[in-house]
Chain A
Amino acid sequence: MSKRTASPRQLSSGSDRVFEGLILALAAVIVLVFVLSVYQLGTESWPALQKFGLNFFTSRVWNPVTGEFGAAAMIAGTLVTSLAALAISVPLAIASALFVAEYAPKWLANPVGYLIELLAAVPSVVYGLWALFVIAPILGRWQTNYFTSPENLQTLTRCTELWNSNQTSLECFFVPSSAAGRGLALAIIILTVMILPYTASVARDVIRLVPQDQREAMYALGATKWEVISRAILPYARAGIMGGVILALGRALGETLAVAMVIGDSQDILKSIWGNASTMASVISNQFGDAQEALHRSSVVTLGLSLFFLSVVVNYVARLIIARLTPKGIQ
């Protein structure tokens, strides 16, 4: 918007100003949505925040009957599921990106790349349905086998005692606690699948941006394909890949229904990776509709507010990293 007055474009400045105002007003709706969201979530979560203060985030008691609400269990559930899913999915995603960008011939690279992108288009409920009807029975069968085979009896008795006194050990953390198939482990499995395409497509784009010279210089030194990938391509692309990883983390933190359908909705302390648990998003979807008490409702909205700010921060960091990457000698 230059301040020059003699410009010939100023001839039609009247209609231009109206149009600019209109576009700006409509674009301002974006800001309005953001502000309204913060305001709405803020006012509704105020009663809970006022009552519990910071204890809300550190207390492990979530009891609608006694009116005590602390979110530590679901914060832990959110972090455990997201980080575990991230740890499994990142190597797979990078490998598939390398396949599409470096290994596959063109006739194969395009369809495979497209299939990976379609993974991101599958709705959350469909993932949940598949996990519930296909994977849960498989896990359940394995768990039943574990329970019925005699050699596990000792471990099971030991762990059950520990669990009953609300404790766990490293060994018992990996011992199944029920034969339902559902639980934290299934949530991690389905989250892994769901966030794969986000890391994979960013990684693929960044790997394609690595200059051809970089590869050729390495080949000229006599390197094998893997050496080119591990020493010339991945180091060059790592900042961008990191951006994709954080984007996937943002997705994992907010993923709701697929997780809510399979995680078992329990706010107890996590005693086994096979046991029931909950995440912040799964508690919102499972409890907000039934919450009758004002304080319960407000506490659930506080979870939403925390999730809101968490995803704002995570996405902002991801965008910063991706923006920084703009190919220029990355070190």
Chain B
Amino acid sequence: MSAATTPRSTRHQLSPARRAKNLVMGGLIVLATAIVVAPLILIFAYLIREGLGAMNLDFFTKVPAPEGETGGGLANAILGSIEMLAMASILGVLVGVSGGIFLAEYPRHPLMPSIRMISDVLAGIPAIVMGLVAYGLIVLQFGFSGLAGAVALGFLMIPIVVRTTEEVLKLVPQTVREAGLALGLPKWLVTLRIVLPAAAGGIVTGVMLALARVAGEAAPLLFTAFGNSQINLDPTKPMSALPLEIYRGATSAYDENQRLAKAGALLLITLIFLTSLLARRASRRK
């Protein structure tokens, strides 16, 4: 060990082996990070190259052309996605925010630990399984419908909204609640009029993240909303959605369907990225 014998005044010298190992590992870490990030950039670049050309007025206003013919768009899927996501949000926000309030504001309630655990467990259930559940609950009785698809998506949103709502509510200082109670307000008014408004920004962020997450799900819609080649706004009838059309188009043998699928994927991924970017911005400002 030469380092031990050198005089104190000289700078500490690394042995070449340690220096080399340090450099090599650092290089590997940078390389691995590049490998991790590369697919995202490659996917985005590919979709822009292949999909941007197909994003014309027809894409937003027409329905897919019959198989084998050219032209058409994904208006049925865009409208279907918007409608089903809106319906899913009603379920997801109502139950999710209430669940979050329950977990954060009633921490000593005997049911609190079990509800939190079940909510956490639900977050991990594969989306396709939720599709099977919604199929059994709704489709078996009423047939394929946009409503069934929205219920499946809503089930998937619930645990995400619960978790973010709970976390945001816990960030509201206890003193704010005490100030409200000291004014003689009942607990429910304190929760609704003071705590919730204070946490509103964070809850909206959570809902947006949940929406971004389920907007791209096709698996739970396969056996519920089923898809529809025409524009349909009636929630009791089969309905199309962007991820469904992407799935069908990408696995189709026709160039035209594949082209629409790529344009649809570009639209979907752009909307999802923008949503999560906005949500992130909003949560950072706090």
Contacts and interface: CB of A to CB of B under 8 A. Distances in A.
Interface of A: 1, 9, 11-12, 15-16, 18-20, 22-24, 26-31, 33-34, 36-37, 40-41, 43-44, 91-93, 95-96, 98-100, 103, 112, 114-119, 121-130, 132-134, 193, 196, 200, 222, 224-227, 229-230, 247, 250, 253-257, 261, 281, 284-285, 288-289, 301, 304, 307-308, 311-312, 314-316, 318-319
Interface in B22-41: 22, 25-26, 28-30, 32-33, 35-37, 39-41
24 contacts: A24-B102, A24-B106, A27-B98, A27-B102, A33-B158, A37-B130, A41-B132, A41-B136, A92-B32, A96-B29, A115-B37, A119-B40, A121-B276, A122-B40, A122-B272, A125-B247, A126-B47, A132-B251, A257-B247, A261-B247, A261-B250, A304-B132, A307-B126, A308-B125
Nearest to A130: B43
B127 A92 contact: no
B46 interface: yes
Contact of A315 (B98, B124, B162, B246): B124
Contacts of B118: 30-31, 34
B216 A34 contact: no
Q: Which residue of B18, B159, B218 has the most chain A CB atoms within 10 A of its CB atom?
A: B218
A229 B181 CA distance: 49
Contact of B276 (A28, A118, A130): A118
B149 interface: no
B102 A115 contact: no
Interface stretch (B58-66, B68-76, B109-117, B229-237): B109-117
Contact of B136 (A33, A44, A225, A227): A44
Contacts of B219: 124, 256-257, 281, 285
B285 interface: no
Interface in B129-169: 129-130, 132-133, 135-137, 155, 158-159, 162
Contacts of A93: 36
B10 to A, nearest CB: 14
Interface stretch (B82-90, B184-192, B199-207): B184-192
Contacts of A29: 95, 98-99, 158
A304 B181 contact: no
Contacts, number: 271
Given A40-B132, A95-B36, 18 more contacts: A15-B186, A16-B186, A31-B118, A40-B133, A115-B37, A118-B40, A121-B276, A123-B217, A123-B269, A126-B43, A129-B261, A253-B126, A254-B125, A254-B129, A255-B126, A307-B126, A308-B126, A311-B125
Contact of B186 (A12, A126, A196, A224): A12
Nearest to B109: A1
Interface residues of B, number: 91
Contacts of A112: 33, 37
Interface of B: 12, 14, 18-19, 21-22, 25-26, 28-30, 32-33, 35-37, 39-43, 46-47, 50, 94-95, 98-99, 101-103, 105-106, 108-109, 111, 114-115, 117-130, 132-133, 135-137, 155, 158-159, 162, 181, 186-188, 191-192, 212-213, 215-219, 222-223, 243, 246-247, 250-251, 258, 261-262, 265, 268-269, 272-273, 276, 280
A93 B195 CA distance: 38
A25 to B, nearest CB: 8
A31 B95 CA distance: 11
B133 A36 contact: yes
A122 B43 contact: yes
B32 A96 contact: yes
Given A24-B109, A130-B46, A36 B128 contact: no
Contacts of B123: 315
A249 to B, nearest CB: 10
A34 B246 CA distance: 30
B109 A30 contact: no
Nearest to B36: A96
Contact of A27 (B22, B99, B121, B217): B99
A124 B132 contact: no
B155 A33 contact: yes
A121 B212 contact: yes
The 7 closest A-B pairs by CB, nearest first: A123-B216, A254-B126, A315-B124, A12-B186, A19-B188, A26-B98, A95-B32
